[in-house]
Amino acid sequence: MIKYSNQYYFHVIILILHFPTYSISSYPNRNLSWVLVLCVTGLIGFGAVHSTYGHAFVTNSVPSQSQSISMSPKQIDVYFSEPVDLRYSSLKVLDSNGKQVDLGKVNYKGSDESSMEVSVPVLKDGTYTVSTSVLSQIDGHVTDNAFVFAVGQAVLPTNVTSTGPSSTLYLPEALARFPTLLAQVMIVGAAFANLWVWGPLSNISALTGSISEIKKNVSKNLAIYYVIASIILISSNFAILYFQAISINASIIDVLGTKFGTVLVERSVISFIIFGLSLYEYRQFRKNEFHMFSRLESFGILIIGITLLATTSLIGHGASSQQVAPIIMDFVHNLTASIWIGGTFYLAFVLVPKLKESKMDYHYKISTLSIL
């Protein structure tokens, strides 16, 4: 099983850190923007693809995989790496002819929602296949698995192998998830960069006179940037909801009743709040050309964006252990990646374009970009 590696984001950060500062002034602004975006987006996308392999896989079973038992079991128990939603999961026992022989009633094993059990009648000597298809409560993905066991004098043929776990990848749903990850990175990174990169830089006494002319333009550009990112968030959330319903063959209302659906609703509410604030700021710029983001407003958007990141960790694979430490670790590395990658988007689409358009002296431009 391939899991999302924390080292992946580390390599992304190192790559961004080693991007030559002096090259900013040597490339045309439009080309620079697209080079940065293509590189960073590709890296995020590559990581997102790898993250789809850490779902609710079988970790243990009774009988175990390829086991030969002398007597018929009373029930089949299967244990998973994550809690599963029983309403949209199945556990079947098939004989050698493919006929379902279990008694049909599937339950959790006691109070353990990471397990399922199904009763079986007295099984004749022979080989049997246990087939599972489960919906993870954590990330909302469906995972299939199958294994065989033998009863009595039956011998498992040497050419019979168990089917390893596989995630049922529904491409539209997978594609719908990517924009929301990208948009939240854009928001958090831009808010952080605006507060602690552009903010201090714009207050440097030697540059204040030259930078003051573009402050309002940067703020207006940032408002538009936030509006676009929040629209991406909202659209992606609705797309995820729609395709998730198709993926599990249920209605949208049913999806909202799952734990994954509950987190998705929370994310949607946060997304609408960001959209509302962004639209309000943009309207203020339309009314007053000298309006600028206050530190309080920037802090507010940053905190809301960080809250959005927290919901991502709640449906991440760190949450599968149901322990606090892995969730915190996942949140910290998401936050770190968002600051660097989102900061790069901020430079490419908000700050650098306005620096280029300004009438600032060329040497001041170079100095400003070098500091960035």
The pLDDT of residue 367: 55
State whether 341 and 363 are in the same domain: yes
Per-residue confidence (pLDDT) for residue 77, from 0 to 100: 98
Q: Are 239 and 267 in contact (CB under 8 A)?
A: no
Q: What is the pLDDT along the chain (372 residues), one digit of tens a residue?
A: 444 444 344 444 434 444 443 333 344 444 545 555 555 555 444 444 334 345 788 999 999 999 999 999 999 999 999 999 999 999 999 999 999 999 999 999 999 999 999 999 999 999 999 999 999 999 898 999 999 999 999 988 776 655 555 555 567 887 888 999 999 999 999 999 999 887 766 665 555 555 666 777 888 899 999 999 999 999 999 999 999 999 899 999 999 999 999 999 999 999 999 999 999 999 998 888 778 888 899 999 999 999 999 999 988 767 766 778 888 988 999 999 999 999 999 989 998 887 777 665 555 555 555 555
Are residues 16 and 117 located together in one domain of the fold? no
Could you tell me if 192 and 294 lie in one domain? yes
Q: Which of 138, 168, 198 delimits the end of a domain?
A: 168
Each as own residue / partner, the long-range contacts of residues 246-251 (CB below 8 Å, 24 or more positions apart, any chain) are 246/170, 246/172, 246/173, 247/140, 247/142, 247/168, 247/170, 247/173, 248/88, 248/135, 248/142, 249/88, 250/88
| Straight-line distance from the first to the last Cα atom of the chain, in angstroms, rounded to the nearest whole number | 40
Is the peptide bond prior to 63 cis by the omega test (within 30 degrees of 0)?
Answer: yes
For β-strands 112-119 and 75-80, DSSP reports them as antiparallel
In a shared domain, residues 145 and 194: no
At 6 the pLDDT is: 40
For residue 232, being part of any structural domain is answered with yes
Question: 17-76, pLDDT tens digit by residue?
Answer: 444 433 333 444 445 455 555 555 554 444 443 343 457 889 999 999 999 999 999 999
Question: Looking at the structure, do residues 242 and 361 belong to the same domain, yes or no?
Answer: yes
Q: Which range of residues forms the domain containing residue 329?
A: 6-52+170-371
- Residue 61 CB contacts under 8 Å (≥ 6 apart), including other chains: 76, 77, 78, 79, 130, 147
**Do the domain assignments include residue 26?**
yes
On whether residue 220 sits in a domain, the answer given is yes
Rounded Cα distance, 179 and 90, in Å: 31
120 domain-assigned: yes
Q: Do 314 and 200 belong together in one domain?
A: yes
Tokens standing for residue 323? 């322990």
Count the domains in the chain.
2
Same domain, 270 and 238: yes
**CATH number of residue 79's parent domain:** 2.60.40.1220
Same domain, residue pair 145 and 239: no
Length of the chain: 372
pLDDT at residue 180, as a whole number: 93
Question: Is 25 inside a domain boundary?
Answer: yes
Give whole-number Cα distances, 229 to 169, 233, 236, in Å: 26, 6, 11
67 and 24 share one domain: no
pLDDT of residue 271: 96
Residues 85 and 119 in one domain: yes
* Long-range pairs, 107-111, Cβ under 8 A, ≥24: 109/77, 109/79
Handedness of CA 358, 361, 365, 368 (dihedral sign): negative
Which of 123, 143, 168 is the last residue before a domain boundary?
168
Q: Residue 43 has what pLDDT?
A: 47
Within a domain: 203? yes
pTM of the model: 0.73
pLDDT at 29: 47
Answer yes or no: do 222 and 344 share one domain. yes
Q: Are 219 and 334 within one domain?
A: yes
> Last residue of some domain: 168, 191, 207?
168
**135-182 pLDDT, tens digit each:** 999 989 899 999 999 999 998 877 665 555 555 556 788 788 899 999
User: Does residue 1 sit within a domain?
Assistant: no
Provide the pLDDT for residue 364: 55
pLDDT at 365: 56
